[in-house]
Amino acid sequence: MRILVVNSNTTDSVTARIGTAARAAASPGTEIEAVTAPFGLPLIVSRADWLVAGPATLAALAARRGRYDAAVIACFGDPGLDAAKELLDVPVLGISEAAFHAAAMLGRRFGVVSFTAALRPMFEDCLAHHGLAPRCAGFRMGPPFSGDPGKVAEERADLLVELCRQSVEQDGAEAVILAGGPLAGLAPVLAPRVPVPLVDGTAAAVRLAEALVGLAPPAAKGRRRARALTGFAPEIASLYDG
Amino acid sequence: MRILVVNSNTTDSVTARIGTAARAAASPGTEIEAVTAPFGLPLIVSRADWLVAGPATLAALAARRGRYDAAVIACFGDPGLDAAKELLDVPVLGISEAAFHAAAMLGRRFGVVSFTAALRPMFEDCLAHHGLAPRCAGFRMGPPFSGDPGKVAEERADLLVELCRQSVEQDGAEAVILAGGPLAGLAPVLAPRVPVPLVDGTAAAVRLAEALVGLAPPAAKGRRRARALTGFAPEIASLYDG
Amino acid sequence: MRILVVNSNTTDSVTARIGTAARAAASPGTEIEAVTAPFGLPLIVSRADWLVAGPATLAALAARRGRYDAAVIACFGDPGLDAAKELLDVPVLGISEAAFHAAAMLGRRFGVVSFTAALRPMFEDCLAHHGLAPRCAGFRMGPPFSGDPGKVAEERADLLVELCRQSVEQDGAEAVILAGGPLAGLAPVLAPRVPVPLVDGTAAAVRLAEALVGLAPPAAKGRRRARALTGFAPEIASLYDG
Amino acid sequence: MRILVVNSNTTDSVTARIGTAARAAASPGTEIEAVTAPFGLPLIVSRADWLVAGPATLAALAARRGRYDAAVIACFGDPGLDAAKELLDVPVLGISEAAFHAAAMLGRRFGVVSFTAALRPMFEDCLAHHGLAPRCAGFRMGPPFSGDPGKVAEERADLLVELCRQSVEQDGAEAVILAGGPLAGLAPVLAPRVPVPLVDGTAAAVRLAEALVGLAPPAAKGRRRARALTGFAPEIASLYDG
Amino acid sequence: MRILVVNSNTTDSVTARIGTAARAAASPGTEIEAVTAPFGLPLIVSRADWLVAGPATLAALAARRGRYDAAVIACFGDPGLDAAKELLDVPVLGISEAAFHAAAMLGRRFGVVSFTAALRPMFEDCLAHHGLAPRCAGFRMGPPFSGDPGKVAEERADLLVELCRQSVEQDGAEAVILAGGPLAGLAPVLAPRVPVPLVDGTAAAVRLAEALVGLAPPAAKGRRRARALTGFAPEIASLYDG
Amino acid sequence: MRILVVNSNTTDSVTARIGTAARAAASPGTEIEAVTAPFGLPLIVSRADWLVAGPATLAALAARRGRYDAAVIACFGDPGLDAAKELLDVPVLGISEAAFHAAAMLGRRFGVVSFTAALRPMFEDCLAHHGLAPRCAGFRMGPPFSGDPGKVAEERADLLVELCRQSVEQDGAEAVILAGGPLAGLAPVLAPRVPVPLVDGTAAAVRLAEALVGLAPPAAKGRRRARALTGFAPEIASLYDG
């Protein structure tokens, strides 16, 4: 099985982290290709960022179309996810979508922890969009951040452990999501210091994508009518070829 | 006061309808400029369409930046709305956002009527996003449509009246929204045949935009840090200049 | 355009504040008449107060019937609002209703700040009634108050700024409502000290009432059957004349 | 134990029905006094009616203050209920409040059946206000009604049985509320024809009021500060004496 | 009237407390029989405990079938409640169900206070199950507990008063539930120290059960088809005899 | 990887279906053991059935403890699920839980189709418990059923296809769950006749269980204090050994 993992921002060091985390989570026999969005922004933090990261993500998905059995959008907030689900013939999962579902299966109420509160509005919109707000015990986020997204996971590891503990002890979380593409791969490192399951969105998305490939046959979707999309790169427009 | 009205699809005949409806609703002294999205799709019906219509809408908004006091995104579903609110210094309203709020002020529960059920998933997501689902009495939509978006208002007028009546009598709607950019300007025509207020999103958005201009001083937003956005037209990237 | 603004309590100094704030917000050409409830209580703080302020508000609305194009009920909690909407042929808006809708258009989540926590139960009921609780980031209110309602705005200005800041920083509010008739006109004064849009219910109601007058033609409502209401002042009973 | 039952409309024949139903439901030793609102309207059907019925109900409650251990507001919609709970030292229950709680204890989901759809908006507001909408399986109501409220129960008995059956079979109701003051006493008559428990609001309110008298000691409420209410009958104003 | 009160845990000293509280709340002429679950666990604190307490509770109910007019499941969390409602011909109430409904009738928003936070997940599930979460102002619970359940009420009385005050002052509770079977009978003792009504689930359940006996005639339920249940004590299996 | 699949009812022919469906869905290398509940009822249709099926399911899980890496409770309604999650050291999934999550990942809104409406109340409770009601487009169920649970899938196949189509066309479902243990394995058979993904709970649970095994390390849970459970079979009591 081949899974394409798209980092929706343009920071290659984050893509590297994500690729490593994805490979660590994948089953034997699953091949992971991790790619960086071909354009856009170095970090996705706001609703506007989320919007422009959508076509950038679609471009990456379209460029390799036919060469993967499932895809993962590895940006917490899931830019382009609904469009990709409509336009592609294979299962597509966002890492926040996957994290919410996995956490809900691992505990009645899950907390969401991340490195900076700037992400909270986008994360709240995303949680509401997926309909799992009733299962969320609350958010715990760190202070403003303006450093290297590829290094924040290590720099803020102790803070994140403390936020996880607050989520468990004060909010009643029975599972905790470490949210944000730049934190990919951190969960197994911090897990021994947190008393409930720690969920990494990238790992969850890879495992759940493997699961869905077996469940949703590619032929399930009907053919679409071809339509002409202008103003976007040819590979994006090709998604509208029908 | 100058209000820019952006048709998020690329069909000029729809832009013409929208412009006419906007001017009819505007107060004396308000100047309306109606523009067509510079690229994208001729009709926005799906979640994927909604995503790609976002940057197209931003491009139109960015190209005239500084030349309007408020902006209206005249596509039911409000593509690009949250991004535009973040990136621009003037009030921006979507026609579905405006229709939901206006209808809620005109009746305890509002119905949503449109020409084709294909729009329903996008409309439901949009309603949920604006948080006004508790005030909605339900949707009533027509059959599949593949004709000219610029003519559907007249062609399906009788059907729409019948759907409005069902909304009032069976769903208990106390106001009804005629939803969809291609229906702009139809509400005043059909109003005499419907026993509750009929809301046109374009008209509502123009009136509410006029109202907001007086309420939200342009200086209220802080400066943003400049960031480099790649892969989009220069005018879109310029929105990230800070 | 003529807008009648009714202060639902009997304190003339509050009516004066409200009238000044309403005139400052009104468009050129809009004439504001601000009146005090002809009977009732000097301050509306509880659910019982809210109920008895309803007929008092209706009495003020009925006494000037036919002499205004829209009406504003200038008491946070909106006493008599639903009845007035049913009984009058012109748009009627409450200042809390207007504040909630305006704030929701100015920010994804809005905070509500007021001078005394005694108002919170009435405000929460009101928010739930308007269905916008999903958009509210939370309440921040001051300590008990027993002074002159006409002076509380100035006396508690610094406290209110502090509560606004807590709403933004701790609750994630992207717009803040300064709630309560006695705070009318304070928002523009405090706005420079708060980093997000500050919403004054009276100003919002005046602007939105201007907007609705253009949207809802007076003829939209059907005639009602005349009914005999006993035990209330003749002007209130006249609202049931059909 | 003495329970005052107030019919919030001015139709004595409805008061008689309510009094009979209340006495049939009361425990041995409970004394029922049923009174008609001293002023107001002959039938409460709209939100405006609901508002003016509030002070009328308070007047009836105030006139007999000190002569009852609990009170029931026998008008579906519960006019004046929150005010009465605040102002009186004894338990006060509305018949819709009581019906919703009793039905929720008798079945997981309850249906609401009444003689005319005109009541639906008021009933829906009332259900939402009490917070029990998640337990409601839906409304089933008859056509417009303009006859004698004192006779509608018998005239529409067969229709009501049919609506109850639809509620059970199509909506999944596990208990059904026969809603509306004019239907007082009908439930035991129709019960043999309906396969789930039928709830009469008046009966439920009397039984639950008896229950609450034993639970909430009169001394539980603190003293209030006296305040001057103008423009209402002296007995209403006396409720503000502190 | 005879009411069977079942303590779902196996601690006789708790049963004694519950029996005393039930008798203190019962009307003259009501006979209370309090019994201990015949098997199971000494204290019910987790979701697993809740499950196994269900058949234990059914066994106690089945063993005395036909010898009571209503039953109360005196364990906060209501183990076995839905099954008992289905299988028995008399009204059955859980003490959390009763407490939620009684508190909602005594105040717009109720707080929930208990001796240990370990109970919170089970209580939250229970509150959500009964659909009254919109009326709950929040939970306030004490630290871990591992002592004698029969003595915790007295040992933690001062802590509980403090938690009640926080619920009123910080959460806005207008009534407070003292939650947990081991706290039965404590509410009247602490009531003088708390400014809002204090609700004891056992007392509420007894009073409400008395109320329901008069409302729901035993014949209302249809006959069930007999089915063979294996693996449980004969008295439980007998509940499936039809 | 070894997955234990427990049929919570006592019908071996249903267990056989479930085992076949589970093996068909499992990845290469996954070993499925399908077992029948050692006691209980031949079909689980009511809330009471659900309760007694809980300990029966725990008994099956406990009897093979240590011999599987994950467990699936193969009864739509998920009896015993929360208890099993608490008491076992491996991931446990219910087939309704798995179906809801899988369907939500395959479509924005999912429909639920089953062979008999008798199951609806239990399914609705289950959906609400998992918090995914906002994603559900509605239920479509067949008429009463009293035949052989092992044969109902084939007997009602045409009816189920028709219900699936109604769910898609009238309710807007973008994925449909074929709900109920007795329908295990039917989804792939009917899939060619339904235009959206068809979800089989058993298959979904097996695939998602495989995914979770990789995500939640066995050591994540803390040790519990040993407690004495009486009145249940020794293997159930052993789950409380700590």
Query: From CA F204, how far away is CA F25, in angstroms rounded?
Result: 8
**Predicted confidence (pLDDT) at residue D201 exceeds the cutoff of 80:** yes
Q: How far apart are the first and last CA of chain C?
A: 25
- Disruptive mutation site among C112, C116, C124, C129 for chain E (greatest number of E CBs within 10 Å): C124
Same domain, E31 and E81: yes
CB E99 within 8 A of CB E132: no
Same domain? For A158 and A89 the reply is: no
Q: Which residues of C touch B195 (CB under 8 A)?
A: 222
For residue C115, give the CATH number of its domain: 3.40.50.12500
- Residue E129 and residue E123: Cα distance in Å, rounded? 10
Nearest-CA distance F9 → chain E (Å)? 10
Measured CB to CB, residues of chain F less than 8 Å from chain A are 25, 27, 82, 91, 93, 97-98, 101-102, 104-106, 108, 130-132, 134-135, 191, 195-199, 203-204, 207-208, 210-212, 214-217, 220, 222
Chains that touch C (3 or more CB pairs under 8 A): A, B, D, E
Least confident of A193-202, B66-75, C114-123: C114-123
Domain assignment of residue B34, given as a range: 2-95+205-238
pLDDT of residue C218: 55
Between CA A169 and CA A10 the distance in angstroms is 36
Is residue F116 domain-shared with residue F159, that is, in the same domain? yes
Residue D221: count of CB within 10 angstroms of its CB:
17
Count of structural domains within chain A: 2
Mean pLDDT of E218-237: 80
- Closest residue in C to A121 (Cα) is C172
Interface contact flag, C172 A125, Cβ < 8 Å: no
- Distances in Å between the Cα of D151 and the Cα atoms of D146, D181, D219 are 11, 12, 42
Probe site for chain F from E88, E230, E238 (most F CB atoms < 10 A): E230
Q: Are residues E112 and E195 in the same domain?
A: yes
The average pLDDT across F21-41 equals 97
Average pLDDT taken over every residue of chain C: 94
pLDDT digits (tens, 9 = 90+) for D142-185: 998 888 888 999 999 999 999 999 999 999 999 999 998 889 99
Q: Are residues E40 and E132 in the same domain?
A: no
How many CB atoms neighbour CB E167 within 10 A? 26
Per-residue pLDDT tens over the stretch E143-152:
988 888 889 9
How far from E200 is each of A168, B4, D208, E110, CA to CA, in Å? Answer: 29, 61, 16, 13
Q: D196: distance to nearest CA of chain C, Å?
A: 32
pTM, two decimal places: 0.95
Q: Give the residue with greater pLDDT, F190 vs E214.
A: F190
Q: Read off the pLDDT of residues A142-190 as tens digits, 9 standing for 90 and up.
A: 998 888 888 999 999 999 999 999 999 999 999 999 998 889 999 999 9
Q: Are residues F213 and F118 in the same domain?
A: no
- Average pLDDT (D31-52) is 96
Between chains, do A48 and B227 touch, taking CB under 8 Å as contact?
Answer: no
pLDDT at F220: 46
Contact between F112 and F125 under an 8 Å Cβ cutoff? The reply is: no
Q: Which segment of A209-218, C153-162, D87-96 scores lowest on mean pLDDT?
A: A209-218
Residues B37 and B58 in one domain: yes
pLDDT digit string, tens, across residues B32-82: 999 999 999 999 999 999 999 999 999 999 999 999 999 999 999 999 999
pLDDT at B217: 67
Which residue shows structure tokens 């005499």? Answer: B192
Three-class secondary structure assignment of chain A = CEEEEEECCCCHHHHHHHHHHHHHHCCCCCEEEEEECCCECCCCCCHHHHHHHHHHHHHHHHHCCCCCCEEEECCCCCCCHHHHHHHCCCCEEEHHHHHHHHHHHHCCCEEEEECCHHHHHHHHHHHHHHCCHHHEEEEEECCCCCCCCCCHHHHCHHHHHHHHHHHHHHHCCCEEEECCHHHCCCHHHHHHHCCCCEEEHHHHHHHHHHHHHHHCCHHHCCCCCCCCCECCCHHHHHCCCC
Angle at A3 (CA atoms; ends A216, A139), nearest 5 degrees:
85
Q: Are residues C214 and C132 in the same domain?
A: no
Cα(E5)–Cα(E219) distance, rounded to whole angstroms? 22
Cα separation, B216 vs C223, in Å, equals 38
Residues B184 and B218 in one domain: no
Among A97, A191, A220, the residue with its CB nearest the CB of F197 is A220
pLDDT of residue F218: 55
Mean pLDDT of C1-22: 96
C-alpha D88: how far from chain center: 17
Q: Which chain B residues are closer than 8 Å to D121 by Cβ?
A: 108-109, 172, 174
* Residues of chain C positioned with their CB less than 8 A from the CB of D94: none
Q: Are residues F187 and F230 in the same domain?
A: no
Mean pLDDT of B107-128: 93
User: Smallest Cβ distance to E41: which of F41, F59, F227?
Assistant: F227
Looking at the structure, do residues D168 and D91 belong to the same domain, yes or no?
A: no
Q: Do both F113 and F182 map to the same domain?
A: yes
Residues from chain C contacting residue E108 (CB–CB below 8 Å)? 47, 121, 125
Closest-CA distance of chain B to residue A39, Å: 5
Instruction: Work out the pLDDT band at B186, boundaries 50, 70, 90.
Output: very high
Q: What angle do CA D62, D68, D71 make, to 5 degrees?
A: 70
Q: Does the predicted interface ipTM exceed a cut of 0.90?
A: yes
Residue B112 backbone dihedrals phi, psi, to 5 degrees: -120, 120
Is residue D157 within 8 A of residue D190, CB to CB? The reply is yes
pLDDT in tens, F184-238: 999 999 999 999 999 999 999 999 999 999 887 654 455 578 999 999 999 999 9
Q: Please answer yes or no on whether F232 and E52 come within 8 Å at the CB atom.
A: yes
